[in-house]
Chains A and B, each alone.
Chain A
């Protein structure tokens, strides 16, 4: 299997992304949002606990806006500018391009996450934090961002309009958060009197449910499989959309 084209495209996408104004806007809002949510809304200092639990608990909500924003142009822009015709007539397979674009953007999100590393030093300065949940929290957050991104890749391939791509990705990710959001699951269980297995099934599709254990320092196979299969499923869906659109 020839992976060189993947590397070449990843490099191009990453450099273009990181030098674009979108990247700076993303970074500023991500860091500002993470700070605001952790300290103001999450009342970090009132908790009196040296952990990043509060910081991570807002990530599903932060990604909800930011990942569709950074990914909405992935394919929409290629289609609008016609470069997709160049890209797909190069001697590469379309999955090379799909994976490369995904990886480049995912790497960029990793860079944004890396900018929050000072938080680790902060909690270390404040007390004696358990490093386990912090490491798994970062890992889980990165995986979750990948799932959001794969969904955005898919919606970006659906349309040449980035705004439509953003909205569909936003709604899709929002639903996948909501089905595991405690107020909703409580509503399903208590007010609708649904059986326990139905509620578990619904919440099993949620990012929240699968991210929760990782926040607490536990990486289970189930959660890993959930995030990775979401990524793989939506990248396959992307490839299907791109192929069928070319077929007319």
Chain B
């Protein structure tokens, strides 16, 4: 549904977006990650046709956004950063305007408004002026606007920014639900959100795409991913690490804590060992040695570790 090829945007000498390519199909929810100023918003603005690209190509539903913008924009629902809405209008008036400009009028408009109002929980404020709404409500009003024409493609710039935890949960649920039938791109800073909602993730840094895969795939790239945490009682730390290191396939052992007879350690498997295959070995070792195991689990890696490692350079520190 969305095809982005070699997208470039220059602001003067600065390349804000530098050769980003990806595709999003129907049924995909793509999480767009990156530190502040990485080029997320700029990319989304080009995909929605708000700003022209310096070079590259964006097609949505088979239509080129630069060549037939009006047709392409019909397919897109867009929630800009900061969720703007027209001051001085009521929620209903604003939504009616947004429906009308997309060619939805009369009873179809009424139905569309009713649908988004109940989906975004706006019933209580429907007649209120948008100026008088809280930030969370204003956000939902703009979100409602983006789905009023039930678009095939939904592009959202930080859709959960400024919402309280309950509202965040609701919005995530809506996005996930809609993701089954639509192609969705959304940007966020919140990594848990990506794991909860997305089936694909892209990380961009300094305008370049640095990671592309499912959240699980990316998580595996964390330094700790695949390592095994072992917790025991009544074993000496030195003995534990010696015996674990002697085990086949173990690269190194790091003692994490050692207090009151409780020892826990992190076991790093060698490069050739398949993900998760070392844990049964350790279990059998513990059984042979009659250790009391309190904990044994494979670390599946954390998205924020990967994120930090990849994007550290942006803050001026060296990549590690």
Contacts and interface: CB of A to CB of B under 8 A. Distances in A.
Q: Do A and B bind each other?
A: yes
Interface of A: 4-5, 8-9, 12, 16, 19-20, 81-83, 85-86, 88-93, 246-248
A248 B9 contact: yes
B50 A83 contact: no
Contacts of B82: 82
Interface residues of B, number: 34
Interface string B61-81: 000000001110110101011
Interface string B99-127: 01111000000000000000000000000
A92 B11 contact: no
Contacts of A90: 73, 98, 101-102
Interface stretch (B20-28, B85-93, B172-180, B271-279): B85-93
A91 B84 contact: no
Interface of B: 9-12, 45, 48-52, 69-71, 73-74, 76, 78, 80-82, 84-89, 97-98, 100-103, 142, 145
Contact of B103 (A4, A83, A88, A247): A4
B80 A82 contact: yes
B100 A89 contact: no
A91 B78 contact: no
Given A9-B101, A92-B101, A246-B50, 10 more contacts: A4-B103, A8-B101, A16-B86, A81-B86, A82-B82, A86-B145, A89-B78, A90-B101, A91-B70, A91-B102
Given A16-B89, A248-B9, A93 B70 contact: yes
Secondary structure dominating the interface of A: helix
Contacts of B76: 89
B61 to A, nearest CB: 12
Nearest to B79: A86
A247 B45 CA distance: 11
Contacts of B101: 5, 8-9, 90-92
Given A16-B89, A81-B84, A82-B80, A92 B70 contact: yes
A85 B70 contact: no
A247 B88 contact: no
Closest 5 CB pairs of A and B: A82-B84, A91-B73, A85-B80, A91-B74, A83-B84
A121 B88 CA distance: 37
B130 to A, nearest CB: 10
Contact of B97 (A4, A12, A82, A248): A12
A25 to B, nearest CB: 15
A85 B82 CA distance: 11
A85 B85 CA distance: 10
Given A91-B71, A93-B70, A247 B50 contact: no
Nearest to B142: A86
A92 to B, nearest CB: 7
Contacts of B50: 85, 88-89, 246
15 contacts: A5-B101, A12-B86, A12-B89, A16-B86, A81-B84, A82-B80, A82-B81, A83-B86, A85-B45, A86-B98, A89-B48, A89-B76, A89-B78, A247-B52, A248-B51
